[in-house]
Amino acid sequence: MAKILVIDDDAEFLEMIRLLLERSGHQPLLSADALDGLSKALVEPPDLAIIDVMMPGVTGYEICRQLRASPPTASIPIIILTARGQPVDRQAALDAGANEFITKPVTMMDLRERINDLLAQRAPAKKPPLFKGVIALLSLRGGSGVTTLAVNLAAALAQAGGEVCLVDLCRSSGHVALQLGLRPEPNWLGLVRAENLNAETVVAHLLQHSCGLRVLASPVLPVVGAGLSRATTQVTLRSLQQRFSIVVVDMPSMLDDAAIATLEATALALLVVTAEAPSIQTAVGTLRALQGATTFQIVLNQVTPGAQPPAGALERALKRPVWATIPFDPAQAQALARGTPLVLQSPASPLAQAVHELTKKLEEQK
């Protein structure tokens, strides 16, 4: 998550870019007044600044020069955004110290790409990953919160410095891209149709999130008939493992060919269970059906408010310990509406804190 300052006296534009930044997992600092924006930047230095040129009192060029003159903000990326698009205007922006010069009107998609590019150039070197390999999250009962957990876990791992790819294997309109505020085009249906499937083709089908996470999305329309075959899934996962240190897979709620191929490639399998009797029954059946195929760690996900049965009761039913517990978090509904995972939007929230604890547990699995 980056802190991004936007200075523009157009209230409508400020609202549009606020939504863009929040949905991309960033923290917006907005100001409709040039000097107020400069003051905010000096008090709370941002990771990037977007500045309009024509504003009352002082120009964006002058704000840019003052940011460059102050040590806390001297090296931040700066985008000058203006309706004036002559070569002389571009040169004035570069002379003032701007990294990018963008003319209005600009689409929010193009602006997001420019922001991501500048942040990526400024990003520090990646830390060694907490974990390496494929992490599969599974529940054969819908409504267990597998997708929410997979999205937040993958985003947290990316924040921690891992090169992470998140894969949505759902055949019935998966929601990984939706929770990340991404449009699911392209998606893995293109891999099914590919004549020559290789690593280059797989990577070409990945989406990019601003936090650094890459995503192989599920088709937005449910797939009728065969989905990902065993062979296609194997090639896809091998290709992703060559490129990424961590591959997080949101598994389908069925033991189809793609699911079995994924479990065979998995370094860590998480069986997500809620405290309701149907979920526990399904989890017991899953463990019996896959006995010997893989070893699961149990994650108790509290998807509803109110008191929960003790974890000990679940452990007795499943005959194995609960590895991690994720608490119910009322802020998750807002995160879904905004298309921003809680670990990016509200790092101090209960769910986000529990997911960060889960990433620490991965260190023990190395």
Residue 366 pLDDT class (50, 70, 90 cuts)? low
Pairing of strands 268-273, 296-301: parallel
Residue 168 CB contacts under 8 Å (≥ 6 apart), including other chains = 147, 174, 175, 176, 177, 188, 215, 216, 217, 218, 250
- The arithmetic mean of pLDDT across residues 193-201, rounded, is 91
Q: Could you give the C-alpha distances from 182 to 109, 216, 247, in angstroms and in order? A: 11, 11, 18
Phi, then psi, of 84 in degrees rounded to 5? -90, 115
SS (H, E, C) 229-272: CHHHHHHHHHHHHHHCCEEEEECCCCCCHHHHHHHHHCCEEEEE
- Other beta carbons within 10 angstroms of residue 121's beta carbon come to 9
Distance between CA 326 and CA 301 in Å, rounded? 5
Q: Could you give the C-alpha distances from 235 to 156, 187, 336, in angstroms and in order? A: 26, 15, 32
Distance between CA 269 and CA 340 in Å, rounded? 25
Tell me, what's the pLDDT at 183?
Answer: 92
Residue 363: pLDDT over 80: no
- Other beta carbons within 10 angstroms of residue 358's beta carbon come to 21
Topology of domain 133-364 in CATH is Rossmann fold (3.40.50)
Residue 120 pLDDT class (50, 70, 90 cuts)? confident
The most confident of the ranges 66-70, 108-112, 131-135 is 131-135
Residue 364: pLDDT over 80: no
How does the average pLDDT of the chain come out, rounded?
A: 89
Q: Could you give the C-alpha distances from 185 to 20, 54, 95, 336, in angstroms and in order? A: 18, 37, 39, 19
Which tens digit of pLDDT belongs to each residue from 19-69? Answer: 989 888 888 999 999 999 998 888 788 999 999 988 888 899 999 998 988
The most confident of the ranges 113-117, 129-133, 225-229, 310-314 is 113-117
Distance between CA 138 and CA 279 in Å, rounded? 12
Sketch the domain layout of the chain as residue ranges: 3-122, 133-364
- The arithmetic mean of pLDDT across residues 303-332, rounded, is 88
CB burial string 201-216: b at 16+ within 10 A, e below: bbbebbbebbbbbbbb
Q: What is the CATH number of domain 3-122?
A: 3.40.50.2300
Tell me, what's the pLDDT at 135?
Answer: 97
Residue 130: pLDDT over 70: no
Pairing of strands 133-138, 48-52: unpaired
> Helix (H, G, I), strand (E, B), or coil: what is residue 274?
coil
Q: Is 3-122's fold the same as 133-364's?
A: yes
Residue at 250: amino acid letter:
D
Phi, then psi, of 229 in degrees rounded to 5? -80, 170
Which of 333 and 140 is assigned the larger pLDDT?
140
In terms of Cβ atoms closer than 10 Å to its own Cβ (0-12, 13-18, 19+), residue 315 is: middle
Residue 334: pLDDT over 90: no
% of the chain surpassing 90 pLDDT: 54
Tell me, what's the pLDDT at 308?
Answer: 76
Which of 139 and 295 is assigned the larger pLDDT?
139
Which of 357 and 71 is assigned the larger pLDDT?
357
